Structure 1
Amino acid sequence: MSHFSRVGILGRLGNDNVLNTLKNLIQLLSDRQIPFKIEDLLKNTLRNEDVDYATRAELGAFADLIIVVGGDGTLLGAARDMAIYDLPVLGINRGRLGFLTDIMPDQMEMVVSDVFSGNFIEEQRFLLEVKVRRGGEWVGSSAAMNDIVLHPGQSIRMIEFELLIDGQFVYSQRSDGLIVSTPTGSTAYALSAGGPLMHPKLNAIVLVPMFPHTLTSRPLVVDGDAAVCVRIGYENDLAPQVSCDAQNHLVTLQGDELHISKMSHSLRLLHPKNYDYYEICRTKLGWGSRLGNDG
């Protein structure tokens, strides 16, 4: 008996490698007689009228497992939309890094078969939500699994802002912006800005200044349940932007407040039974292997 009975499939658009893997996945599920539906945005890519297509909301109501074919960016978008349905998500890597989509295409048949047999590791990865408050009113919101980034947009200008944690003033800063990252996102933009790597199981948030105008401003790790508030200074002569996972964007004005906190919904991310986070880091980040012989 299969551990999962209905599958929803999401994928990256306009990529031949993704298309080939999708076709192989469809054949695998068909051979196992497991019902599945595919995101309707892929209909023109697949051009297969013999399968059922559905919106993401319909997939959330139909499936008990979501399989994402693409890169980490594809999975990030899926996570923001599908986390509310409390469905496990499995990622097939057709991108570059593969921190989240950690199953290679040549392993797909074996790993997917193992998953249907109940042989997998499940992790909970939390997401962040940002709300923009302007003049006492909420004017925008978005979510992120990796990071929420305050930045000047296309201008090369510094931003002035204040940071508060749980209502307590932390500092005022003049910099190119601020990265607010989950442990999942600590291997992404926050890493390139000098932030620490955080194990995905940690309940923590890291705040990484971007080129701050002071040598003593360093990344700050706070409790994952903390309430983060960023107040945009009135002295700024531009409208800073807020990017969520580098995919969703909000425009702010002078005096706006960004309220950032953990979402109530988390992502249930599945891995192969032999998943090793540190091995992923060694492979993707070029860390050194063992010295000498293991024996």
Structure 2
Amino acid sequence: MSSRFRHVALIGKYQAPGRRTATGASDDVLEDIAAFLELQGCEVSIERSTADELQDCRYTALTVEEIGERCDLGLVVGGDGTMLGIGRQLAPYGVPLIGINRGRLGFITDIPLDNYQATLIPMLAGDYEEDHRSLLHAQVMRDGVCVFDALAMNDVVVNRGATSGMVELRVSVGKHFVANQRADGLIIASPTGSTAYSLSAGGPLLHPSIPGWVLVPIAPHTLSNRPILLPDADEISIELVSGRGASANFDMQSLASVEIGDRVVVRRSDYHVRFLHPRGWSYFDTLRKKLHWNEGGS
């Protein structure tokens, strides 16, 4: 069975030699997967920072930009954090991604490492489910000038400073003022991010097909400030009214300081991430497995 993907990029999170993953796989797993892909008729390249950590790597090393321009598929070996990082960077190129889970939860890296070969063979031949995930485009505006610009797949979080009290945030949606909120912070989460920080702060689960975001206060001063589901066609603006040392986090992987009077503006990105899943994949199966639903029942 030949692969429909001619050129595959392998992207991984490196672990020190000799360490073993929870599945018991040794750290030559990237080389094993690369050799497997070659047997399926694929040309294999390695993402440059991944290749830098491999001993005697015999595969072509490519930057993320080169992967976007040259490759038909990205195969990500790691946890959800690894997928979040590469997903944002490859979204403008439209390169589809498959995730092999070496992390803990694996909401978006959903193929078990110990069964990857049997799962990948039909997928590489074109038998898969395709799943598109929206991105958030966020900017920090200061005196009318953008001082920070980032994409996020999970969430944008405005947080109080480490040693300060609550922040006061002025929230607007589209042209409409919503409220001034006093809290430890505020989360704007995509459907993908609804299973991350948003969930631990009391937000709802959103199906990935919902064209919306959830706005979730973190430890609000007023208990009637509750999570609210918003359409992603509207721009959300969060202005810092008071609070020292505040910051804005984007997928908890990039950080910008926020000063009084700054606005964090979030809108739907023009890009989305393309995930490929095994045939028969279901979002509800993922929730049931990862959140341990139905356990302990009769």
Aligned partner of 1:9 in structure 2 is 10
1:84 aligns with 2:92: yes
Q: Distance in 2 between matches of 1:74 and 1:285?
A: 20
For 1:63-102, list aligned pairs within 5 A: 63-102=71-110
- Deviation string, structure 1 residues 213-239 (Cα, Å, up to 9, x no partner): 101100010002110001110x32x13
Report if the CA contact (8 A) 1:158-1:175 is conserved.
yes
Q: Distance in 2 between matches of 1:249 and 1:19?
A: 31
1:146 aligns with 2:154: yes
Q: 1:191 aligns with which of 172, 195, 199?
A: 199
Report if the CA contact (8 A) 1:19-1:45 is conserved.
no
Q: Displacement of 1:34 after TM fit?
A: 1.0
CA distance 1:199–1:290, change in 2 (3 Å)? farther
Gap regions ≥5 residues in structure 2: none
Greater Cα offset, 111-120 or 248-257: 111-120
- Deviation string, structure 1 residues 112-150 (Cα, Å, up to 9, x no partner): 111111111001100101111111111111111000000
| Equivalent residue letter for 1:255 | G
Greater Cα offset, 275-284 or 84-93: 275-284
| Equivalent residue letter for 2:150 | S
| Equivalent residue letter for 2:250 | C
Q: Distance in 2 between matches of 1:132 and 1:10?
A: 30
Q: Distance in 1 between matches of 2:229 and 2:126?
A: 35
Q: 2:290 aligns with which of 275, 279, 284?
A: 284
Report if the CA contact (8 A) 1:8-1:62 is conserved.
no
1:244 aligns with 2:250: yes
TM-score of the aligned structures, taking structure 2 as reference length? 0.93
| Equivalent residue letter for 2:7 | R
Q: Distance in 1 between matches of 2:7 and 2:51?
A: 19
* Number of positions where the alignment pairs a residue of Structure 1 with one of Structure 2: 290
Q: 2:281 aligns with which of 267, 275, 278?
A: 275
CA distance 1:56–1:19, change in 2 (3 Å)? farther
Q: Distance in 2 between matches of 1:169 and 1:83?
A: 32
Q: Distance in 1 between matches of 2:126 and 2:297?
A: 36
| Equivalent residue letter for 2:248 | V
Greater Cα offset, 197-206 or 12-21: 12-21
Aligned partner of 2:40 in structure 1 is 32
- Deviation string, structure 1 residues 161-180 (Cα, Å, up to 9, x no partner): 11000020000011000000
Report if the CA contact (8 A) 1:36-1:63 is conserved.
no
Secondary structure of the 2:27 match is helix
Q: Distance in 1 between matches of 2:293 and 2:177?
A: 38
* RMSD of aligned Cα (Å): 1.5
Q: Distance in 2 between matches of 1:228 and 1:272?
A: 35
Aligned partner of 1:257 in structure 2 is 263
Report if the CA contact (8 A) 1:228-1:259 is conserved.
yes
Q: Displacement of 1:273 after TM fit?
A: 0.7
Q: Distance in 1 between matches of 2:287 and 2:68?
A: 31
TM-score of the aligned structures, taking structure 1 as reference length? 0.94
| Equivalent residue letter for 1:143 | L
Aligned partner of 1:126 in structure 2 is 134
Q: Distance in 2 between matches of 1:191 and 1:153?
A: 22
Report if the CA contact (8 A) 2:139-2:265 is conserved.
yes
Gap regions ≥5 residues in structure 1: none
CA distance 1:156–1:13, change in 2 (3 Å)? farther
Moved over 2 A (4+): 13-21, 153-156, 289-292
Q: Distance in 2 between matches of 1:266 and 1:155?
A: 36
Secondary structure of the 1:19 match is coil
For 1:208-219, list aligned pairs within 5 A: 208-219=216-227
Report if the CA contact (8 A) 2:203-2:214 is conserved.
yes
Q: Distance in 2 between matches of 1:66 and 1:153?
A: 37
- Deviation string, structure 1 residues 1-47 (Cα, Å, up to 9, x no partner): 42211101111123544833212211101222310110111223221
Q: Distance in 2 between matches of 1:167 and 1:47?
A: 55
